[in-house]
């Protein structure tokens, strides 16, 4: 009696797509979260011990915050190679490789370089509209005050030399805006350490829950991961639960856009570049604001309420046009077609789905 059984390329818990799982690997998710959070607290601990008033605090904050950005990458490596989630096709699962179709990946990545700046500037407009900020687009007095504070920290001779060599303030502001894409690319080196974890591994691992649950849970985890720095006053100047709540809200909002770029392109690279561009453009309101109009970060900064409002409008448009639907989430790049038949397999040109599963014959007496 001959019995024929089909077996797909995936292992237990895997679907026929390399970028999908049939169920959430909860044990691996737990290990990922505990490890990324634990390492983040461990790296930030010297900042807590020295205190925000220490002379070297600013220097050490920059160095340790940069190191902290690689903790999700470390957690991802453990999830992949220790927890073995997934067991194979890991680069496809993360959306790292291959970069096909190249046109889709390239254009989403290019858009990710400039889109955060547009959202940030729109958030500045919302802040002005609601009276949360006042701009000085003639004298750029707020930016001048920032520069003056930096000059004051230098010795007199160095400060004078820096002021004499500085171009006109208007040119400097224009240069700040024009250099955002370049800054976004530079920041992408650090953003990769986060995005390979958040949008590369975690979002993909949670996709069996559905698109929106995966996006929202990933955003919340991303926001809470910042807690060691937020409780030191980072971003919002708040050292209690309010700062953590604001950061979590901001990460859910921005995380929705980064997740859309990940799911819609089938690649993690637009999210990496978008995260870098956000970091490069986040302080734009400081450049444009008037010196005598204090800024409330909770309202006026892009991770605050003004950013939430702009992103809510953008996401509403994307939802209305079906951009978050499953059928608008393309599979990862297809493999080259191979011969079919017994012992072989072919793949649909639209993605890595197996068209003809390998057939295995077993004979029993």
Mean pLDDT by 10 residues, the chain (365 residues): 40 56 96 98 97 93 98 98 93 89 91 97 97 94 87 79 82 90 95 98 96 98 98 97 98 98 95 98 94 93 98 98 88 52 37 36 37
Contact between 306 and 122 under an 8 Å Cβ cutoff? The reply is: no
359: burial class by Cβ within 10 Å (0-12, 13-18, 19+)? middle
What is the reported pLDDT for 60? 97
292: left (phi over 0), alpha (psi -120 to 50) or beta: alpha
Residue 212 CA to residue 193 CA, distance in Å, equals 24
Q: Please list the alpha-helical segments (H only) found in 84-210.
A: 90-94, 102-129, 141-152, 156-165, 169-178, 180-195, 203-205
Q: Which pLDDT belongs to residue 102?
A: 85
Integer Cα distance of 197 and 70 in angstroms: 9
The pLDDT score that the predictor gives to residue 17 is: 63
Q: How far apart are CA 100 and CA 93, in angstroms?
A: 14
Question: What pLDDT is recorded for position 105?
Answer: 93
Other C-beta atoms closer than 10 Å to the C-beta of 300 total 24
């Amino acid at each position: 009696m001959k019995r024929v059984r089909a077996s797909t390329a995936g292992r237990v818990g895997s679907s026929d797509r390399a970028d999908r799982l049939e169920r959430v690997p909860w044990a691996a998710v737990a290990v990922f979260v505990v490890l990324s959070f634990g390492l983040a607290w461990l790296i930030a601990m010297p900042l807590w011990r020295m205190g925000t008033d220490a002379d070297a605090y600013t220097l050490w904050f920059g160095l340790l915050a940069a190191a902290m950005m690689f903790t999700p990458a470390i957690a991802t490596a453990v999830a992949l190679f220790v927890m073995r989630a997934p067991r194979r096709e890991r680069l496809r699962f993360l959306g790292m490789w291959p970069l096909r179709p190249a046109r889709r990946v390239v254009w989403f990545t290019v858009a990710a370089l400039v889109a955060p700046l547009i959202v940030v500037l729109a958030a500045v407009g919302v802040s002005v509209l609601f009276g949360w900020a006042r701009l000085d687009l003639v004298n750029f007095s707020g930016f001048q005050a920032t520069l003056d504070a930096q000059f004051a920290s230098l010795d007199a001779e160095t400060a004078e030399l820096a002021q004499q060599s500085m171009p006109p303030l208007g040119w400097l502001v224009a240069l700040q805006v024009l250099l955002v894409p370049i800054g976004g690319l530079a920041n992408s080196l650090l953003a990769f350490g986060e995005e390979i974890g958040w949008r590369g591994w975690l979002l993909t691992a949670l996709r069996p829950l559905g698109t929106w649950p995966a996006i929202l849970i990933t955003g919340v985890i991303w926001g809470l991961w910042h807690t060691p720095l937020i409780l030191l006053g980072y971003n919002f100047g708040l050292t209690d639960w309010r700062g953590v709540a604001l950061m979590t809200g901001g990460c859910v909002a921005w995380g929705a856009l980064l997740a859309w770029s990940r799911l819609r392109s089938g690649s993690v690279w637009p999210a990496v570049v978008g995260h870098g561009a956000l970091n490069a453009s986040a302080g734009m309101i400081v450049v444009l604001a008037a010196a005598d109009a204090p800024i409330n970060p909770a309202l006026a900064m892009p991770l605050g309420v003004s950013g939430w409002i702009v992103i809510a409008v953008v996401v509403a448009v994307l939802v209305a046009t079906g951009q978050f639907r499953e059928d608008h989430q393309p599979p990862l790049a297809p493999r080259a077609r191979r011969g079919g038949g017994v012992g072989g397999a072919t793949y649909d040109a639209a993605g890595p789905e197996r068209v003809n599963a390998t057939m295995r014959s077993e004979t029993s007496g």
